[in-house]
């Protein structure tokens, strides 16, 4: 394994621990990722002794980078070139039932490996010159890497009860790496699901977002569902599950549909918030579902209701309540617009209105909408996608011609007031709206001159007389 420890930081650490005759190892994710040929930027180093002291000695030899010390945790972190290295003394942990904060004592390497969450995360490589690069793998982590298995080094019932965040981590790693969680380990997650309540929402969402950002997020959501965790951490999403049949007519299962949409979006976007928009686009379907005789299942206004549901969901899950949330709301609200357009005749006017409503987010909206086309009927999918190409072409044409993406009215309220010598009143708004509609409907071009003439005409229609006929610049 020596060839993977070529970075100069390892020889600095090795020199120090060999001279002082200390035992020290690279451990955890960095070692796992060597075997998986994944890149990793953070390194964990464990030493039998004091992590803080070792970090300080390493820093002194490495040109004195800043050492951040976390006394309470007995750890120290330093940044060296492109890497972040965390030093910690090997420890033994025991837990109290109501908290995920362990009671910590000094321990051996094996004690330290035992407290790790999964066998694949418990691999260690020695840094001492006597056995530099030697792999220490007491729990069969390499076999599990080869067999693509996530399992705990110790009894999973205890591992998960001690720190229930590990249940989220298990599902997150299974998703990111496309590994299977061993049966015994998965059973223990089911048994311990209620323990997730002692974990902070912030920690949970961090893991959930890693699932959302993975290559195939549906793997994680299905595991969350199967384990029972989904219902606890994201009940609104769990509610999408199931199909109902009436008079022989069934609606689709919106849980699996949504996951398909999210998976389909992945290759087109790594915008976390667009991925959240995919997750939430049909979130109001269970609440708006109705069976109407002669028509079948309807989900009337589920986009409006969905838009209204987003803030509460974001608040409950400790997602940011800022412009990211507003973006998700907008996507949920508009998610059917391009597809409706593609089903009907694609008129310039409809395209202009869509551009006006979506503004700069039009490209993201189109990606979401395209991913939303899921059907077993290949013919149907092809027809939709073809129509979509037409919508995209029209969008481009109209945008080039009329520049309505970030529409600013060419005539403002003040100018209407001045032209007709009005005091503030509703008529001003009416004229503004008429100008906007005329532009969006293609009655007049998106230009000042035309808008000015249109305003004069409109004013006359409303019985107004222009008092100053200027500003025709």
Binding residues for Mg ion, per CB under 5 A?
29, 42
Binding-site string for ligand ATP from residue 105 to residue 144, where x marks contact by CB under 6 A and - marks none: -----------xx---x-----------------------
**Residue 166 binding result from Mg ion, ligand ATP, none, given CB thresholds of 5 to 8 Å by partner type:** ligand ATP
Stretch that binds ligand ATP, among 60-68, 133-141, 158-166, 461-469 (CB under 6 A): 158-166
Q: Does 163 participate in binding ligand ATP (rule CB under 6 A)?
A: yes
Distance CA 460, CA 364 (A): 42
C-beta closer to ligand ATP: residue 114 or 367: 114
Name the minimum Å distance from CB 123 to ligand ATP. Answer: 9
Here the tokens at position 458 are 């409109």
Contact map string, positions 164 to 193, toward ligand ATP, x by CB under 6 A: -xx---------------------------
Which member of 5, 43, 44, 204 binds ligand ATP (CB under 6 A)? 44
Report the alpha-carbon distance of residue 310 to residue 324 in Å, rounded. 11
C-beta of 154: minimal distance to ligand ATP in Å?
A: 10
Q: Which does 116 bind (CB under 5 to 8 A by kind): ligand ATP, Mg ion, none?
A: ligand ATP
In the bound state with ligand ATP, the residue whose beta carbon lies nearer, of 105 and 430, is 105
Q: How far apart are CA 173 and CA 184, in angstroms?
A: 16
Residues 307-331 as b/e (b if ≥16 CB within 10 A, e otherwise) read: bebbeebbeebebeeeeebebbbbb
Give the whole-angstrom CA distance, residue 173 versus residue 181: 9
Name the binder of 410 from ligand ATP, Mg ion, none, CB < 5-8 A by kind.
none
Q: Which partner, Mg ion, ligand ATP, none, binds residue 165 by CB below 5 to 8 Å per kind?
A: ligand ATP
Token pair for 464: 């107004």
249: exposed, middle or buried (Cβ count in 10 Å: 0-12, 13-18, 19+): exposed
**Residue 412 beta carbon to Mg ion: minimum distance, rounded to whole angstroms:** 54
Residue 352 touches which member of ligand ATP, Mg ion, none, C-beta under 5-8 Å by kind:
none
128: alpha, beta or left? (left if phi > 0; alpha if psi -120 to 50): beta
Residue 412 contacts which entry, Mg ion, ligand ATP, none (Cβ below 5-8 A, type-dependent): none
* Closer Cβ to Mg ion, 29 or 459, answer by number: 29
Tell me the three state secondary structure of residue 146.
helix
Q: For residues 422 and 428, what is the distance between their CA atoms, to the nearest angstrom?
A: 8
d(CA 220, CA 212): 8
Q: Give 139 or 388: the residue with its C-beta nearer to ligand ATP.
A: 139
**Separation between Cα atoms, residue 255 and residue 271, nearest integer Å:** 21
> What is the 8-class DSSP label of residue 290?
E
390 CB-near residues (< 8 Å, 6+ apart)? 342, 346
* Residue from 306, 278, 298, 251 nearest 372 by CA: 278
Nearer to Mg ion, 27 or 391 (CB): 27
Instruction: Build a one-symbol-per-residue string for 12-31: x at contacts with ligand ATP by CB under 6 A, - elsewhere.
Output: ----------------xx--
Question: What's the min distance (Å) between Cβ of 29 and ligand ATP?
Answer: 2
Take residue 222 and report the two structure tokens written for it.
């299905």
Nearest approach in angstroms of CB 3 to Mg ion is 21
Residue with smaller CB distance to Mg ion, 29 or 217: 29
For residue 289, the cross-strand partners are: 299
Q: Which residue is nearest to ligand ATP (CB)?
A: 29
């Amino acid at each position: 394994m020596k060839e993977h420890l070529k970075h100069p930081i390892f020889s600095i650490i090795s020199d120090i621990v060999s001279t002082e005759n200390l035992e020290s190892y690279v451990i955890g994710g960095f070692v796992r990722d060597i075997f998986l040929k994944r890149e990793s930027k953070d390194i964990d180093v464990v030493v039998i002794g004091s992590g803080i002291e070792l970090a300080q000695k390493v820093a002194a030899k490495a040109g004195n980078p800043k050492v951040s010390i976390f006394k309470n945790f007995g750890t120290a972190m330093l940044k060296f070139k492109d890497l972040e290295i965390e030093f910690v003394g090997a420890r033994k942990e025991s837990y109290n039932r109501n908290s995920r904060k362990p009671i910590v004592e000094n321990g051996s390497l094996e004690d330290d490996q035992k407290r790790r969450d999964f066998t694949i995360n418990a691999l260690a490589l020695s840094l001492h010159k006597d056995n530099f690069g030697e792999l220490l793998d007491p729990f069969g982590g390499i076999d599990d890497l080869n067999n693509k298995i996530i399992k705990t080094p110790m009894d999973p019932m205890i591992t998960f009860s001690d720190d229930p965040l590990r249940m989220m981590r298990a599902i997150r790693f299974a998703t990111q790496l496309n590994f299977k969680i061993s049966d015994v380990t998965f059973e223990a997650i089911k048994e311990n699901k209620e323990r997730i309540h002692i974990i902070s929402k912030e920690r949970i969402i961090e893991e959930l977002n890693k699932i959302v950002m993975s290559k195939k997020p549906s793997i994680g959501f299905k595991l969350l569902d199967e384990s029972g965790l989904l219902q606890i951490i994201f009940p609104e999403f769990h509610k999408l599950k199931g199909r109902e049949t009436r008079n022989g007519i069934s609606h689709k299962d919106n849980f699996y549909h949504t996951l398909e949409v999210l998976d389909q979006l992945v290759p087109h976007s790594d915008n976390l918030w667009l991925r959240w928009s995919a997750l939430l686009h049909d979130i109001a379907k269970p609440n708006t579902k109705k069976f109407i005789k002669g028509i079948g299942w309807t989900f009337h206004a589920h986009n409006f209701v969905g838009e209204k549901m987003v803030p509460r969901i974001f608040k409950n899950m400790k997602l940011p309540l800022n412009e990211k949330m507003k973006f998700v709301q907008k996507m949920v609200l508009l998610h059917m617009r391009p597809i409706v357009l593609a089903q009907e005749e694609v008129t310039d006017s409809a395209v202009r209105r869509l551009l006006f409503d979506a503004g700069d987010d039009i490209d993201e909206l189109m990606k979401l909408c395209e991913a939303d086309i899921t059907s077993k009927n290949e013919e149907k999918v092809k027809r939709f996608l073809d129509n979509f190409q037409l919508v995209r072409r029209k969008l481009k044409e109209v945008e080039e011609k009329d520049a309505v993406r970030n529409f600013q009215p060419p005539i403002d309220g003040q100018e209407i007031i001045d032209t007709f010598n009005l005091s503030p009143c509703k008529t001003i708004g009416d004229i503004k709206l008429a100008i906007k509609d005329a532009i969006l409907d293609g009655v007049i071009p998106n230009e000042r001159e035309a808008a000015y003439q249109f305003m004069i005409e409109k004013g006359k229609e409303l019985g107004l007389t222009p008092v100053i006929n200027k500003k025709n610049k």
